[in-house]
Amino acid sequence: MIEPTGVQVRLLEFLRAGMFSADTEVTVETDLIASGFDSLSLVSLLVFIEQTYGLWIPQNEINEANLKNIRAIAAVVVRLLNERQPPS
């Protein structure tokens, strides 16, 4: 089973480096949409996830609940990864 913690750390690093200004505090609980997560950020995040984990989050999974914060996004990524690679 792939655990969410590692995914959360990667996503957090990416969002801190690429999307938020240096003085913005971002945690796994930060409400992304309220923090200015716009359509540009969304595309960049989807590309990052595809590059890093080799999976594209299906369009029907791209919604407010799954993009609420890094914890929610990481949970989707982990679920999709585990669906793709059942535990041995």
Partner 1 sequence: MNLTEFLDRTASNWPDKTALIEGDRAVSYVELVENTLALAAQLRKLQLSSACRVGICFPNSVNYVALTFALWRINAVVVPIPTECTEEELSSIATTMQLEAILSRNARSQSVSLGPDVFFTRLTPALPPDNHGLNLAFIRFTSGTTSARKGVALCHETIGDRVLAANQALRIGPADTVMWCLPMAHHFLVTIVLYLSQGATIVLARHVLSRPFLEAANRWQGTVLYAAPFHYSMLARDSSGAKLNSVRLAVSTTCSLPQEVAVSFQQRFGLPLSQALGVIELGLVCVNVDDSTARWDSVGRPLPKYAVNIRNPDEDGYGEVVVSGPGFFDAYTNPWTSRDDLMPDGWFNTGDIGRVDPQGYLYLAGRKTAVINLAGRKVFPEEIEAVLNRHPAVRESRAYGAAHPHLGEVVEAEVVLRDATTTDTLRDFCRGHLSPDKVPSRFHVVQIIPKTTVTGKIRRQPTPPVA
What residues line the site for partner 1 (CB under 8 A)?
Answer: 14, 17-19, 21, 33, 36-40, 42-48, 50-51, 56, 58-60, 62-64, 67
Residue 32 DSSP SS3: coil
Distance CA 72, CA 42 (A): 14
Min dist CB 56 to partner 1, Å, is 6
Min dist CB 8 to partner 1, Å, is 18
Size of the chain in residues: 88
Nearer to partner 1, 28 or 44 (CB): 44
Min dist CB 30 to partner 1, Å, is 15
Distances (CA, A) of 24 to 20, 21, 28, 44, 77: 6, 6, 13, 18, 24
